[in-house]
Amino acid sequence: MALCLSASKSIVFNIICSNSTSDPFPSSSVFKSLKIPRFWPWQKVKMGPLTVSPMGFGTWAWGNQLLWGYQDSMDSELQQTFNLAVENGINLFDTADSYGTGKLNGQSEKLLGKFIREFPGDKQAKNDIVIATKFAAYPWRLTPGQFVNACKSSLERMEIEQIGIGQLHWSTANYAPLQERALWDGLVAMYEKGLVRAVGVSNYGPKQLLKIYKYLDDRGVPLRSAQVQFSLLSMGSDQMEIKNICDSLGIRVIAYSPLGLGMLTGKYTPSNLPPGPRGLLFRQILPGLEPLLTSLREIAQRRRKTIPQVAINWCICKGTIPIPGIKSVKQTEENLGALGWQLSSDELLQLEYAALDSPQKMIQNVFQTK
C-alpha cells in the first residue's frame, strides 16, 4: 500500500492498493481519495450557541463601487468565491445593512442570501452557515422598534428566517448619547424576539464595551462578539485592552481589516498604488511600513507561504477571528492558506517588533469610541 500526496490545489491523499496475490480487492487497484480539511473540528470556535470557523470572510466589497470597484458583472465570480469558501469549511460571513453604495445599499446582504440559497454543495455545510450582519446607527433610527425593523429588513433582503449574529455597527456615544440607549434596547428586543441567535458590537472602545456588556447582561442578553480593526497595522493600546476585556468576559474578538485594506498583502508600493480613495491612504502609510513588510516577506519565504497568509495567521494566533474581505477566487484560495498551520512564538515576536519599528500605523475608524 503506497501513500501518495497529490499535487492538486485541494489537499488530497490517494491511498493506492496494488494488485497482488494477497490483495483482498477483486480489482487490480483501488483508489480512495481522502480530502484533508483546512482545519480540524476541535479548531472551530464556540460563540455562545454558535460554532464558527477560525477564520471568516468579509463582504464589504460586494456592492461597493467607490472603494472596491464593484460591478454587476462580478456577481458570478463572487458566487464562486462563496462556494469555494463554504466547501473548505468556512461558515462565518460578515456583512452589514449599509454595505453597497448609493442605489446598491444592502447589495452585500442580498448577494449573500442569494449565494446561500443557490449553494450546490453539502446541505449540512449550507445549514451551518453563520451570517453576522451589522445594523447602522443611522440618525433616523431613534427607537428600539426602528432598530428591530432594520433587522427585519435585513432578514427580508437575505430571505432567511434568523440571523446568526446581529451587531450594532458603531456607537453613537461620541455624538448622540441619547440614541445609544435606544439602540441597545433594540439589540435586546431583536434577541428576545428570536430574530438573531446572538448579539455583538463593532467599533466599540474599551469603556463603551464594558458599559454595553453590563447593560445587556442585566437584561439576560449575552454579548457574544466585538468587532475591531485588528492587524499588525492596528495593534495599539486600545486594541489590546479590548482583547483583554473580551478574553475576561468570554466575548469573541472578530478582527476586521486583518490585511490593512490591502497594505499587508505585499502587492502595493509607493509607486504602485490601488485606484480611488485607497490609493490616497496608501500613499501616506506605505512608505513607513518597510520594516514590517520585510519581516512578513522573510517569514513567508521561510514558511513557503504568502505575505497575506502570514498576516492573517498572526491574527488567528492572537486569539481573534479574522474576516479578510474576498472578491475573487484567487483571493479566497490565498486566504484559505492562512489556515492549518501556526506561527511560532519567535515569529510572532519578530512581526510585532517589526510593526513597532514601522513609523506608520493604520488610521483608526472614525466611528471607534473610547
Separation in Å, CA 181 to CA 54, 178, 294, 318: 32, 6, 46, 32
Q: Is 208 within 8 Å of 241 (Cβ atoms)?
A: no
H-helix or E-strand containing 180? helix 177-192
DSSP 43-86: GSEEETTEEE-SS-EE-TTTT-HHHH---GGGHHHHHHHHHHHH
Burial zone of 50 (CB within 10 Å; 0-12 exposed, 13-18 middle, 19+ buried): buried
Write out the three cell numbers for 294. 520585510
Residues 94, 99, 105, 111, Cα dihedral to 10°? -40
Tell me the CA end-to-end span of the chain in Å, nearest whole number: 61
99 is catalytic: yes
C-alpha pair distances (Å), 183 with each of 48, 123, 358: 22, 35, 38
Which one of the listed residues 99, 204, 213, 268 is annotated catalytic? 99
Let me know the angle formed at the C-alpha of 132 by 318 and 324, rounded to the nearest 5 degrees. 45
Task: Determine contact, residues 291/299, Cβ cutoff 8 Å.
Answer: no
Closest by CA position to 231, among listed 59, 66, 351, 93: 351
Q: Which amino acid is at 122?
A: D
Q: How far apart are CA 32 and CA 255, in angstroms?
A: 38
Q: Are 135 and 168 in contact (CB under 8 A)?
A: yes
C-alpha 100/C-alpha 295 separation (Å) is 35
Q: How many CB atoms lie under 10 A from the CB of residue 213? A: 21
Question: Which positions are annotated as active-site residues?
Answer: 99
